[in-house]
Each structure stands twice: as structure tokens, then as C-alpha cells.
Amino acid sequence: MTAALILTKAARRLAERGVDEPGPNAQWLLADALGVERLSLLADPDLPVPPAALKKFERYLALKETGLPLAYITGWQPFMDIKIKVDGRVLVPRPETEELAGHAADFLKTRKEPLVAMDYGAGSGAIGLWLAKKFPGLRLTAAEASARALACSRENAQLLGLADRVKFVRAVTLTPIRAKFDLIVSNPPYIPTRVIPGLAPEVLSEPRLALDGGADGLDVARMLVRLAPARLKKGGALIMELGEEQTRVLMRAMPDKAWAEKKAFKDLSGIERFLYGRIHG
């Protein structure tokens, strides 16, 4: 059977099981099973699919039908220009978080080396590790509440050859962290607790700790806004990803005495998603 025929059948099967975006999901899974890029698979519909790849693809499809995120099945997620290993220990990094990483990089470009940054709630480590790769003079602290997620970020640091520049800290607040940073970047859990039960099955298979931000979704974010100024170097910044309408609420909790500048940025979908605060310096 050719790739095109297999894809048509698989997309139909996933659609019947209520899987969102059945076509693209089938394409990503078959490409991974074949060990080729998705675009080259689409460019060559007559590509033969050897029995071993077909068997692997069948296994992938069965997992996808259970509502597992694509990245948990293949074991990796692209993030900017790196590949991040992911599994049930961590949240799958989202496209908007790539935008957050881009804003963080823009800020770091304005600072002098040596650079010191913290990725708070590091999860897989995607944001901080990408920054460490981009800035060879950067020393990173990856802080995380979950020991399992911290182990995953350590594995990613090793896979990317960055482990010697990263310190891994298990923490549930900034309180025990005494160092000063040019930048604290964070994608904290920011979904209000009451919203969680209605999330899609794919999202619900991700760790609850990575999603649940408390009653209004801002438990961790509020702690960061309160404690970050004392952990930033002069002119240093906190950059965070948040949910819709949360940036405005948090900005009101950022007094001018501590913060020299505060701004909200929209993401590519037009949602005010990123909060930037710079302290005096």
C-alpha cells in the first residue's frame, strides 16, 4: 500500500473516533513511523510503506484513538529550531510558548554577557533550553515543582549538550531562590480550576500541575510578580505567558515602585497573552 492510501484510511478511522484534525494527525504519525519529514511524505504520495513502519503506524493510531497527544506518541515536539523530548511527565510545549521564548530572547539581546536567566515552571525545559542554545554565554536555572518534570528537563539538557550550563532546582515558590537574574521567564499553570474538567481529552492527559492555576488561574503568576523584583538584577525583567484577560489583572498587582515598565503583548491570534515587567536599574 502507498502512503496516500494509508493516510486516507487512517484519517477516516481517526475522524470516526472523534479525533480532532484527523488528517494532519495521521500525516505526522505516518511520517514519524517512516522516519521522514511530514512535508516530504506529502510531496511523495506513492512512497511505499514497509511492513515494519506500517506496524509502528498501527500502534501509533491505536494510541491516538485513546486521546493521547501526538507528541506523547512520537516522544518529541519541535520547539523553535530544537527538538524536545516529551512524555506524560510534562506539558507539550505550545506554539504560543515559542512566541514567549522569542520575546525572552529579544530582551536578553539588550543585556550584557554573562547572562543569567531562570525558566520558572520549566516542564520539559523547552523555553530555557532553547534560550541557552541561542545564547552560548547564558547560564540557566530551570526551576520546577514536579520532580518528574525536572527529570525530563534534565534529560533534554543532556540530549541538547547543554547540561553543564543548567542548574536544576525543585521549587514551589521563588522564596528559596537567592540568586539574581537578568531574566525570569515563565509559562506558569494558568487555567482556572473550574475550567479544567471541560478541557479536551488530549489536554486532560497532560499533568494537572502543569494546567491548574488555582481559582482564577493566577496562583503561581501572582507569586512570581510579587517575589521576582528581589531576584532580578538592575533593569532585569520578568516575562510570562498567561491566559486571556489575565495580563490586565496581574498588571494591577505590579506597583510602579518595584516595576519601571510593564507591558502586555498580543500573541499571533490577537490574544493578550504575554506580560513583561522590567525593574528599575
* Amino acid letter, residue 71: A
Residue 43 in contact with ligand SAM, rule: CB under 6 A: no
Asked whether the beta carbons of 26 and 11 are under 8 A apart, the reply is: yes
Residue 171 in contact with ligand SAM, rule: CB under 6 A: yes
Asked whether the beta carbons of 104 and 275 are under 8 A apart, the reply is: no
Beta bridge partners of 138: 115
Nearer to ligand SAM, 62 or 179 (CB): 179
CB of 251 to ligand SAM, least distance (A): 20
> Would residue 267 be called left, alpha or beta, if left means φ above 0 and alpha means ψ between -120 and 50 degrees?
beta
Nearer to ligand SAM, 174 or 279 (CB): 174
Helix, strand and coil in the chain, % to nearest 5: 45, 20, 35
The three grid cell numbers given for residue 263, joined into one nine-digit string = 507591558
CA distance 270 to 110: 26
Residue 86 in contact with ligand SAM, rule: CB under 6 A: no
Listed in sequence order, the residues at least 6 apart from 129 whose beta carbon sits closer than 8 Å to its beta carbon are 82, 84, 119, 140, 142, 153, 156, 157, 160, 162, 166
Residue 99 in contact with ligand SAM, rule: CB under 6 A: no
CB of 137 to ligand SAM, least distance (A): 22
Site string for ligand SAM, 119-158 (x = CB under 6 A): --xxxx-xx---------------xxxx--x---------
Site string for ligand SAM, 219-258 (x = CB under 6 A): -x--------------------------------------
**Among the listed residues 3, 91, 239, 275, the single contact to ligand SAM using CB under 6 A:** 91
Site string for ligand SAM, 198-217 (x = CB under 6 A): -----------xx-------
Using CB under 6 A, list all residues that contact ligand SAM. 90-91, 93, 97, 121-124, 126-127, 143-146, 149, 171-172, 187-189, 209-210, 220
